[in-house]
Amino acid sequence: MHDQDLSAALAEAVVDAAAAGRRLRIEGGGSKAFYGRQAEGEPLAVGAHRGIVSYEPTELVLTARAGTPLADIDAALAAQGQMLGFEPPGFGPGATLGGTVACGFSGPRRPYAGSARDFVLGVRLLNGRGENLRFGGEVMKNVAGYDVSRLQVGALGCLGVLLDVSLKVLPRPQAELTLVQDVTLAGAAIERLNRWAGQPLPLSASAWDDGRLYLRLSGAGSAVRAAATSLGGEVLAEDAAAAYWQGLREHTHAFFAGDAPLWRFSVTPAAAPLDLPGATLIEWGGAQRWWRGEAEPAALFALARAAGGHASRFRGGDRGGEVFQPLAPALAALHTGLKASFDPRGVFNPGRLYAGL
């Protein structure tokens, strides 16, 4: 498919839908259709609005249309020895930049390099009136106006149709190495990860899974080698390491197989192991934990809250019910007000994030 700018046609579709009281379900490549609540409305296809608009390697800034495949962006960056610092999962070959930003997904590098929202510099979007608005920009520092750009990250398209996104990008590390250590208990792994995170070590990913602790180190070759010596453990072969982190990021790892609902717990990094039956996979230095199983959502939300964070049903289960941690009433009211300020007629992705939003 070729690069094209469909801003005008998309704006027209939004204006028409708003005028007719119709609702729109925004669709990119469809790779993340599993995520969030079941949205109402007719599809609004944005996948053909695609292409890298500008890329300046020495400025560390890339701007691309929302429908641009993540794979195209990765390839363009790799050709210049750069990458997306938040290492986003695609969850399928169709993954687009817009969907990635709307879902706010970040991969294994997140606790050490930053999240999707940390790397967003600016967006262009259509609000519910079909107006083409630009916020933020293509510079690292910009505090003019409210930070509407980062507000879009993880908003699941409820506040507008993303048209293009500007991102800060990073150089690829000069060297990378993965260590594996035997650590039987989750609590011991969490303790180690948090102790190391408080030290100036070149950590770039971590996971504990079935009694094994995986640590990725990135940076200058000498720094990576020195840290590997001090941390200890078995060095994983380069392709095995790449496959491991890829499988973790894309959820193709064996832990993620099966039909039981997949829950994500985002908690205080050093929180004690969660009281859940069966296996838990721990990532992000302890801050992200995955669990598969059937349970009363309210109980899981309470468990996450007690651990300083929140839970979400990442895949599977009843998508008509709540998928994300319920908000305190005053916060929920603010969400409703913000939604109305961007999308007064409730055109975009009704109910995808929360019922009634």
Partner 1 sequence: MSAPVNLYTKLAAGVPEHLLLVETEDLRPYECDGLSAYRQVPLLVALPETIEQVQHVLRTCNELRVPVVARGAGTGLSGGALPLAEGVLLSLAKFNRVLDIDPVNRTARVQPGVRNLAISQAVSDLGLYYAPDPSSQIACTIGGNVAENAGGVHCLKYGLTVHNIQSIELVTMTGERLTIGSQALDSAGFDLLALLTGSEGLLGVIVEVTVKLLPKPQVAQVVMAAFDRVDTAGAAVGRIIAEGIIPGGLEMMDQGCIQAAEDYLHAGYPTGAAAILLCELDGTAEEVAEQMEQVQALLRDAGATELRVSRNEQERLLFWAGRKAAFPAVGRLSPDYYCMDGTIPRKELPRVLNGIEALSQEFGLRVLNVFHAGDGNLHPLILFDANREGQLHAAEELGGRILELCVEVGGAITGEHGVGMEKINQMCVQFRREEIVQFHALKAAFDPHGLLNPGKAVPTLNRCAEYGAMRVSRGELRFPELERF
Enumerate residues 318-347 that contact partner 1 by CB under 8 A: 324-328, 330-331, 334-335, 337-338, 340-342
Restricted to residues 277-316, the positions that interact with partner 1 (CB under 8 A) are 284, 287-288, 307-310, 312
Neighbours of 239 (CB within 10 A): 8
Q: How far is the CB of 226 from partner 1 (least distance, A)?
A: 5
The answer to the question of residue 134 lying near partner 1 (CB under 8 A) is: yes
CA atoms within 13 A on the CB side of 110: 22
Size of the site for partner 1 (CB under 8 A): 90
Considering only 75, 140, 279, 299, the residue that binds partner 1 (CB under 8 A) is 140
Between 254 and 330, name the residue whose CB sits nearer to partner 1: 330
Task: Tell me how far apart the 2 most distant CA atoms of the chain are, in Å.
Answer: 65
> How big is the CA angle at 149 (ends 132 and 265), to the nearest 5 degrees?
130
Restricted to residues 209-268, the positions that interact with partner 1 (CB under 8 A) are 219-223, 225-227, 266-268
Between 95 and 116, name the residue whose CB sits nearer to partner 1: 116
The answer to the question of residue 139 lying near partner 1 (CB under 8 A) is: yes
Sequence-ordered list of residues with C-beta below 8 angstroms from that of 146, at least 6 positions apart, any chain: 135
Restricted to residues 171-190, the positions that interact with partner 1 (CB under 8 A) are 171-174
Q: How far is the CB of 84 from partner 1 (least distance, A)?
A: 15
CA 211 to centroid of chain Cα atoms: 26
Region of 13 (left: φ > 0; alpha: ψ -120 to 50; beta: rest) is alpha
Considering only 5, 74, 76, 142, the residue that binds partner 1 (CB under 8 A) is 142
Neighbours of 270 (CB within 10 A): 16
Restricted to residues 75-104, the positions that interact with partner 1 (CB under 8 A) are 80-81, 104
Contacts 24+ apart (CB under 8 A), 170-174: 170/60, 170/82, 170/83, 170/84, 170/85, 170/113, 171/60, 171/81, 171/82, 171/83, 172/78, 172/81, 172/82, 172/83, 173/204, 173/218, 173/219, 173/224, 174/219, 174/220, 174/221
Between 47 and 249, name the residue whose CB sits nearer to partner 1: 249
The answer to the question of residue 269 lying near partner 1 (CB under 8 A) is: yes
User: Of 21-29, 36-44, 200-208, 254-262, which segment contacts partner 1 by CB under 8 A?
Assistant: 200-208
Restricted to residues 99-118, the positions that interact with partner 1 (CB under 8 A) are 104, 110-111, 114-115, 117-118
Between 38 and 268, name the residue whose CB sits nearer to partner 1: 268
Q: How far is the CB of 1 from partner 1 (least distance, A)?
A: 28
